[in-house]
Amino acid sequence: MPVMDISAGAEEFDADPYAFYERMRAAGPVHRIVLNAGDPEPSWMIVGHEEGRRALNHPALSKDWRTAGDFADVQISAVSSNMLESDPPHHTRLRRLVSREFTARRMEGMRARIQQIADELLDAMAAGPERAGDLIEALAFPLPMTVICELLGVPDLDRARFRYWSNEIVSPTSVDANGVANREMGRYLVELIGAKSKDPGEDLLSALIRASDEDGDSLSSDEVIGMAFLLLIAGHETTVNLISNGVRALLAHPEQLAALRGDFDGLIDGAVEEMLRYDGPVQHTTYRYAREPLDLGGTVIPAGATVFVSLGGADRDPARFADPGAFDIGRVPQGHLAFGHGIHFCIGAPLARMEGRIAIRSLLERFPDLAEDPAAGPPAWLPGTLMHGVSRLPVRW
C-alpha cells in the first residue's frame, strides 16, 4: 500500500486538511501515512466514518502506550496517569471515579456563570474604542479558560503561561518546546494538588482528591495530577477552536448566519452540532496501538501498528453525510465523531456544547454586524495535525 506523506505538505494540511482526507477516501477508508517529519515509520489513518466509529471502540486497539512496545527505559510522568492513556480495567476504574464528580448537575449548575462570563467579555469588546480585534483573544480563549479554571478551582493560574503550555502540548512548534511545556505544567500541577490536599474547597479538583467509590477506592496522587492535566488541556483548548471555527464558518456562509439570527431558539443547538461536524477542533485522535491484526474496510492493519482515527475525515464521509462539504445548520444530526465514540467519548462534551451555544449566540445577539476584518490578511493556521483552527481571528463589529 502506498504511503501518504502528510508532513511533506504540512502547511497545506494545516490550512485545509479536508482536501487530504478526500483524496485519501477516494482510494479507500484506511491508509498508511507519515504524519510528522522524523516519524520512525509510517502510521495508519482511518478516514471512513463507519470504519472510524468501529475503531474507536475496538478492543484490539489500545490507548495505553506503556503496554504497546518497548518503553522500559521511558520515565513515566504523572500527567500520563489519565483516562485518555489507559485501557480497561484501569480506564473503567478512572472513568467511574471521575464521573461521580463530573456530573451533568454540576455542569448545568454552571450555566448562569458561563453566561455571566460571556456577557462580561462582550461588554469589554463593546467598550473598546476600535470596534475591532482578535475574537480568540477577546472571547474564544478567555471564556473556556475562565470556566475550566473556576470549575477545577484554579482561578489564579497565570493565563499567559498556561496558554503557552497548552498551545505547545496540542499544537507544538517543536519537540523540545513540547517537552518543556509538559514538564513545566506537570510541576505546576504537583504543587497545585499538594495545596488542594491541605486546603480543599468545593471545586471539582478538590472533589477528585476526595473521590472514592463504595469499595473505598480512590484516585492516587499521580492519577489526580493526570486527570487535572487532561481536564485543563482538553477542557479549554477544544472549546477555543469550537467557538472560533464555528464563527468562521458562519461568517463564510452568510445565508446560514442569517438563518441562525432569525431563529436562535430553534437552530442554535443544531448549529453547534454542524460546526462540530463541519470543522471540528480535533482533527484526529491521539495514538492507538494494534494489539493484533485488525481488518477495517478490507484493509488489514498489522499487529504493533500505530493507528489514528481521523475525526475530521470521518465527519466529511459522503457515505454517512449527504453533501458533506456543505455547511448546513439545519442538517439533521447523524452522529458525528467530533467528541469521539465508545469508552473514550469526551466526558466534557456537555460542557463544551453549553459553552459553544452560549458564546456564539451571545456574540451574534450583541453584535449584529459582526464581520471578518478585511484588512487582517491571510489566516494564521495552528501548526500540527491534531487541532484545526487559527491562532488569530480578526473581526470587526
Q: Which domains does the chain have, with CATH numbers?
A: 3-390 (1.10.630.10)
The Cα–Cα gap between 153 and 151 comes to: 6
| pLDDT number for residue 68 | 64
Of 4-18, 71-85, 171-185, which has the strongest mean pLDDT? 4-18
**Residue range 383-396: average pLDDT?**
93
| pLDDT number for residue 72 | 47
The Cα–Cα gap between 139 and 121 comes to: 6
Q: Locate the DSSP E strands across 10-65.
A: 30-34, 43-46, 61-62
| 154 or 244: which leads in pLDDT | 244
| pLDDT number for residue 215 | 67
Name the burial class of residue 278, with classes exposed (0-12), middle (13-18) and buried (19+) by CB atoms within 10 angstroms of its CB: buried
Give the pLDDT confidence of 256-297 residue by residue, as tens digits: 999 999 999 999 999 999 999 999 999 999 999 999 999 999
Pairing of strands 30-34, 3-5: parallel
Give the pLDDT confidence of 195-231 residue by residue, as tens digits: 888 888 888 889 888 876 556 788 888 888 888 888 8
| Mean pLDDT of the chain, nearest integer | 90
Quote the longest CA-to-CA distance of the chain: 61
Give one DSSP letter per residue of 108-168, joined into a string.
HTTHHHHHHHHHHHHHHHHH-SSSEEEHIIIIITHHHHHHHHHHHT-TT--HHHHHHHHHH
Give the pLDDT confidence of 336-354 residue by residue, as tens digits: 999 999 999 999 999 999 9
Question: Three cell numbers at 381?
Answer: 493556521
- Element of type H or E holding 96: helix 90-99
| 66 or 246: which leads in pLDDT | 246
Query: Among the listed ranges 129-143, 169-183, 249-263, 359-373, which one has the minimum average pLDDT value?
Result: 169-183
| pLDDT number for residue 18 | 97
The Cα–Cα gap between 36 and 167 comes to: 17
The Cα–Cα gap between 184 and 343 comes to: 30
| pLDDT number for residue 117 | 98
| pLDDT number for residue 76 | 58
| pLDDT number for residue 260 | 98
Contacts of 392 (CB under 8 A, 6+ apart): 134, 136, 137, 376, 379, 380
